[in-house]
Copies of this chain bind each other. A is one copy, B any other.
Amino acid sequence: MDPSELNIPPMKDLTIDNITENTILINSQSPDQRLTYVMERLVTHLHDFARETRLSTSEWMAALNFLVKVGQISSDVRHEFILLSDILGLSLLVDAIDHPKPASSTEGSVLGPFHTHDPPSISNGSSISSDPAGEPCLVVCTVSDQAGIPIVGVKIDIWETDSSGHYDVQYADLQSPDGRCVMKSDENGVFYFKAIVPVPYPIPHDGPVGQLLKLLKRHPWRPAHMHFMFEKEGWDNLITALYIRNDPYETSDAVFGVKQSLVVDFTTVDAATAKEYGVKEGTKLLKHDFVLVGKEETMKLRDENALKAMEKLGRRVKLIDHLPVPDLD
């Protein structure tokens, strides 16, 4: 580890005015052009933030201590940094950048911190909720391509809170998953299940993110919704949610997830439907048709958007693995 091999100028007497270029320089030794570019933008924005606010030592220390707390309250079932990203609008932004949606397809929404990787697999017609206090509902959906052709065998993750607004993993004494499942679309692109009508709920606000919201005089509520995630080889992953119309928090979601096209109405099950799906007449009914976009089409759209956006920003870039790096040629 001989520093003379570093081929960088002597780093001494660094100041407010030259620390940024020097940090960028020492961070530019990897052959990974994408890493170098991401670090360059990160360091530039981090330093500009400090310079534009004249950040004080005590504010800096308070921020670092806050970040330690965000990490330390995180666990296998609670990702407080995702929550922080959510309330700062970053999650929505990254999803919008990474998963552009043509007008004819289903829009995305925020993943949130409560998706888990081992929900029970169920088949059509099963129930995902065991909460006796929840209002039962039937959910009948299709998944198709933009031309309306059903897509068979799509893996679908579904998750929602119980009637008190808590996800299963928020209970310390949880025995088995509840309010969540993974299922597959059938030969007609159909999937249906029993659940409970979603309720609005506050995001976990007993931790550092909750303290920040309080400081900012922001409420922690999300409007009632049900999460869906779609995965199938050849199709762009779709992370989305359906929001129930006229929720009091429909226009002030703490994590900015609501889109008009994802706001839905419940109706009630008629006699024929009750018989077909084995539920009581009058049960709440949610029907929705999801539309996926091919992986290649999405990548092409993302590449086009990236190049257009970077040109608008005056940045000359090329794409490596569909991600921009400076074009130095």
Contact yes or no, A41 B30, CB < 8 A: no
On whether A22 and B57 interact (CB within 8 A), knowing A27-B218, A72-B72, A249-B3, the answer reads no
Nearest to A15 among chain B residues (CB) is B96
| Interface size of A as a range | 35 or more
Interface residues of A in 218-263 (CB under 8 A from B): 218-219, 221, 248-253, 256, 258-260
**How far is it, in angstroms, between the C-alpha of A245 and the C-alpha of B130 when the chains are bound?**
70
A16 interface neighbour in B97, B216, B256, Cβ under 8 Å: B97
On whether A216 and B35 interact (CB within 8 A), knowing A49-B41, A323-B56, the answer reads yes
Interface residues of A in 1-37 (CB under 8 A from B): 1-3, 6, 8, 10-16, 19-20, 22-23, 26-27, 29-30, 32, 35, 37
A60 interface neighbour in B67, B90, B218, Cβ under 8 Å: B90
Contact yes or no, A16 B93, CB < 8 A: yes
Tell me which residues across on chain B come within 8 A of A59, comparing CB atoms: 38, 323
22 contacts between A and B (CB under 8 A): A3-B248, A12-B250, A13-B258, A14-B89, A14-B92, A16-B96, A16-B309, A26-B252, A38-B55, A41-B49, A45-B49, A46-B90, A51-B313, A54-B309, A55-B97, A55-B98, A56-B97, A56-B322, A68-B71, A68-B79, A71-B71, A72-B72
A183-223 interface bits toward B, Cβ cutoff 8 Å, 1 = contact, 0 = none: 00000000000000000000000000000000111110100
**How far is it, in angstroms, between the C-alpha of A50 and the C-alpha of B217 when the chains are bound?**
26
On whether A260 and B13 interact (CB within 8 A), knowing A41-B49, A43-B88, A53-B38, the answer reads yes
Nearest to A65 among chain B residues (CB) is B81
Contact yes or no, A52 B41, CB < 8 A: yes
A291 at the interface (CB under 8 A from B): no
| Most-contacted residue by chain B among A19, A69, A302, A315 (CB, 10 A) | A19
Tell me which residues across on chain B come within 8 A of A310, comparing CB atoms: 52, 54
Tell me which residues across on chain B come within 8 A of A43, comparing CB atoms: 88-89
Tell me which residues across on chain B come within 8 A of A85, comparing CB atoms: 60, 64
Contact yes or no, A93 B11, CB < 8 A: no
Contact yes or no, A93 B6, CB < 8 A: no
A74 at the interface (CB under 8 A from B): yes
Nearest to A59 among chain B residues (CB) is B38
